[in-house]
Amino acid sequence: MSGWPRPSGCRSPTLARVQAGALTVRVRHASFEQWWEPFTLGVGPAGEYLRTLSPEHRDALRGHCQRLLPAGPGETTATAWAAISLR
């Protein structure tokens, strides 16, 4: 995408026509439980962190998150920077 800065990992002279952009994903959750459950699987940095907590600290974090999030359906949005080089 024009106007976007070239990511530092894409500044090699062997890379040409680098296109950078953002990938955005939106996930709808019917409930807090549906939002929380993936973290308990230990996937990704947040899940790995959750697995390091004692049951008491895990419960405290869960309670804190539940107080911060709306009770009903909600949506989570995540964006990652992406770049491709075309030859």
**Is there a domain that residue 57 lies in?**
yes
C-alpha to C-alpha distance for 53 and 46, rounded to whole angstroms? 11
**Is there a domain that residue 86 lies in?**
no
Question: What pTM does this model have?
Answer: 0.66
pLDDT tens digits along 27-66: 999 999 999 999 999 989 999 999 999 999 999 999 999 9
**Is there a domain that residue 35 lies in?**
yes
Domain that holds residue 58: 25-80
In the beta sheet, which residues pair with residue 79?
Answer: 24
Q: Which residues contact 75 (CB under 8 A, 6 or more apart)?
A: 26, 27, 28, 29
Residue 35: predicted pLDDT: 93
**Is there a domain that residue 19 lies in?**
no
Tell me the two tokens of residue 27.
Answer: 């996930």
**Is there a domain that residue 12 lies in?**
no
**Is there a domain that residue 38 lies in?**
yes
C-alpha to C-alpha distance for 20 and 75, rounded to whole angstroms? 26
Domain count, the chain: 1
**Is there a domain that residue 8 lies in?**
no
